Amino acid sequence: MGVANRRGVEKDMLSDKKICFVGAGSMAEAIIAGMVKMQIVKPDSISATNRSNPVRLNQLADAHGIQADPALKYRYIQEADILILAMKPKDIKNTVEEIGEYTTKDHVVVSVAAGIKTETISGLLGHEAPIVRTMPNTSALVGQSATGLCGGKTAQEEHIEVTSKIFESIGSVFRIPEENMDALTAVSGSGPAFFYYFVEAMLDGAKSVGLEEGLAKELVLQTMLGATSMLMQSGKEPSELREAICSPGGTTLAGLDVLQSHSLNDTVKACVEAATKRAVELGKMNA
């Protein structure tokens, strides 16, 4: 278990692999852009398909130099070594059933669909191809994803490793047991939205006390960046850093008293628990 970071990206592991994205949305593009930027695979070894949007495929081909001819969809799938299922959970069943006959047990099948278990995908495919389940987040768009990853019952270390190299191109990778994937989805998959919501609230507060909007945004974002850097570099617990800022009768305690009186801790815990519950429900709905 644990994290692998981007400094360990090995190009040779993927140099002779063909990778096909089944689904061509923003997450697919972020992963494609990361692989091309990090030069772990040649652009013409990457292909992308979708169900009914050739304009989007043309955009990806033009932007990244990949193959995306709608007429060659099933050929791309058949010839790929690695298939990346990059669609919404609600589309997984119909899509996998559609492409199943073009897949074999020799494919490595990687899923980014929230809540969908590896055994569900195996059942839909109807054969024993190794399945690797992942959960990146939207920070992949700036190369800062926190991606959770686990293997299905037929996935070997080599399959986990090659998938890790793909996702290290867009950030950090955390290998965890599959039973923890729904919780990870709530924390790091949905987490950016929770942070953005807090930033929205900070901006509203800054404006309410008279700060101009542009200045307020710069102050809040730099403050968040600095606080994150302190957490990552100091080695201290969040509680230690928080307490170091507080002084009796000071401004920080006055603000924290309000957060505590409104049960922020309980609210955030309930938020993460609700997101985890929903990830479990998505898996059952699409099983």
Q: What is the pLDDT of residues 74-89, one digit of tens each?
A: 999 999 999 999 999 9
Question: Residue 228, exposed/middle/buried by CB under 10 A (0-12, 13-18, 19+)?
Answer: exposed
Residue 2 clears pLDDT 70, i.e. is over it: no
- DSSP-derived secondary structure for 96-109: HHHHGGG--TTSEE
pLDDT at 130: 97
DSSP state of 67: B
CA 224 to chain centre: 21
- Cα 1 from Cα 183, distance rounded (Å): 15
| Paired tokens of 229 | 């850097």
pLDDT at 15: 80
pLDDT at 4: 52
- Cα 253 from Cα 243, distance rounded (Å): 9
Quote the mean pLDDT of the chain.
93
- Cα 115 from Cα 253, distance rounded (Å): 40
Of the candidates 139, 20, 1, the residue with the CA atom closest to the CA atom of residue 78: 20
Mean pLDDT of 253-267: 97
- The CA angle 255-261-264, to the nearest 5 degrees, is 85
Residue 5 clears pLDDT 70, i.e. is over it: no
pLDDT at 286: 80
Q: Report pLDDT digits (tens) over 194-233.
A: 999 999 999 999 999 999 999 999 999 999 999 999 999 9
Residue 135 clears pLDDT 70, i.e. is over it: yes
